[in-house]
Structure 1
Amino acid sequence: MKRSYIRKILDAIDKDTISFAGGLPNEDLFPLKQISKASKKVLKDRSSLQYSKSQGIDSLREKIANFYTRVYNLETTKDEILITTGSQQAFDIILKSLNANNLIVESPSYIGALSSFRILKKDIKEFKTFEQLNNILKKDEILYCISDYQNPSTYTYTKKQREKVANILKEKDAYLIEDAAYSLLNFKGKIKKPICSFYKDKSYHLGTFSKIVAPGLRVGWIRANKELIEKILVVKESLDLHTSTFNQMLIDSYLDDNDLFKHIKKNAKNYKKRMNYMAECMEKYLPNFEFERPKGGMFIYGKFNNIKDSMQLATKALEKKVAFVPAQVFYFDEQISNEARFNFTNCNFKQTKEGIKILAKLTK
């Protein structure tokens, strides 16, 4: 087993490094005043420091369920929500509750998911087209996918593609893990119906407050039918008993007193500006980097037409105090690639321009 490349990079980064590597939300947008107010309110209640339900506190699960019903138009009750310690924990919980050994993933795919699958010794197969998916997916196997602003590729499924995936899952009688970490970060505020709304019986929909409120709180959730929730609840109890009571109550109190979607809209507006500025810098200084501007999320993804191995470039760039993620780590077989992922949410305009210009010199 190896550590996550991105986590190792984050450990190596110091205050002088220009980092396009991690999926870090912009700290300037954290609702500090509102969170501070919520924390004072929560700490007046001694139960905030006590053990709590393994499935999560009722009021927070109720809010998340209402969100699914109202925004996704997917009728949901609090009994169909389980709170997790970050969305990352959901992979471990779900996989330990199922007997399936085979996992089908998009190529490329999220490095954190691949790490979870590997450490549990699952057999991983990849697909690039829905025809390939249809050919390799078997009964009771697991499909893992990101339907909105995929990490790393930034691709988003159309409604037709979502329905097609759902039909394949129904035909094969397989499981779905749908990762929705970025689904609310559309630059125009448009939210698409998830795949699980077309295929509910054997699906898990993963959400998180990490990208929309604050990642340090480590509060995420799984949405699934009651039968599946009961199975994963047993696993959750064995891992950490429950997610931090205080952090759950903090988020719950924040949601009571603030408009979450107003905050998300503010973030998305800021991120669109940052994305466009990075794209303009790339087009000016890195003309050999080919990419499409994303419509949401936190990354720009593309390929270098003048180099073969972006891992070598990433190593040299880190020596010059610039970090980005080479695509090799997003392929389960770690194939050499000229592709790369850049985070645009964390750096200011000055750092972005400087970092891209340093990369331009290295690629020459």
Structure 2
Amino acid sequence: MNDNESSFDDGAKLSALVKKARRRTILRNAIISLAVTIFILAGGWFANLQLQYRSEEHAMRDIEMLKAISGPNQYILGFQINYGFLHGTLEYRTYKVIEGVPVIWGEENYDFSSWGSFSRFFGDYSDLSLMDPEMEAKGFHYSRPYNRYNGEREMLFYLPSVKYANYLNELPQLKDMHGRKRVEMGISFDKNYTVEQIKAMLPPGVHPVWYWVDTYSNMKPFTAAKMPDGSVVDPFPDWASSVYGFGVHPDRNDVSEKDFLSALEYGVHHNRKYKQEFKRIYDYLRKDKEQPETSDVRLFGVVVTGTAESLKALQGQPYVKAAVMGATVDR
């Protein structure tokens, strides 16, 4: 009996030891699994952030390169980055300078992924345009564009080689403004000019801040289109968001055609998102040469700023084919 009791006690102790060892093993395995999971998640999150940092840097660089040849009289104010899992968002604002006065102009939002792609949010493509009663009375078949963030007027640009049904000329409106009001205006020329020619022919007090460049490798969209019903739709002018060029900077006013070619060359070799667009413009300018020259940069227009009083001197100038007002600010 004692032997049986002793054997039973030994068996119970052994069973308890086995259970205790099993619990320890389970606990140890659970701790190891948790540690490995935390390590993998932390490592994955860190790797994800590193990939997003690289993707965000590429996106910012590509956008800055594009803005160097687009966005008439627009400058990037700053970037805001929001990181998420496998993707993030990049936001930035632009501003204009009208005779020393900054004007917040727009905001763009991009979505970028950890694997390097990025694209604008769909809502950023929406435009604001209204039919102007005076334009409608004159037979214009298109409406007046406005900035969708601040309600200021957006400029339009007319190609010198294209025959439009109507040309917008808002110079007469300057007489209704206070003479000291500061105004931005897009001037479309009757033909192409150089930077030096433009500076020489503009009246005193009219300051060129951005030059519109001929990058039109395809002119088909600018020909009158015959509709099935027999009617003809005349070509539309270009919005400011569609044109390319180069301009001055708040801390640098001396620019030339070389600046556009330098920005173009850099974009061809270093831009990822818009590389094909840079290459299209580059190939169009250089034609059959190895690389484009400054003489290949033909300027179809200019964005100028000045007071309402000083800009009146543009009225009646033979080189002005169209004059469309942009932002206006008080002194």
TM-score range relative to shorter protein: under 0.3
State the structure with more CA Rg.
2
Answer 1 or 2: which has greater helix percent.
1
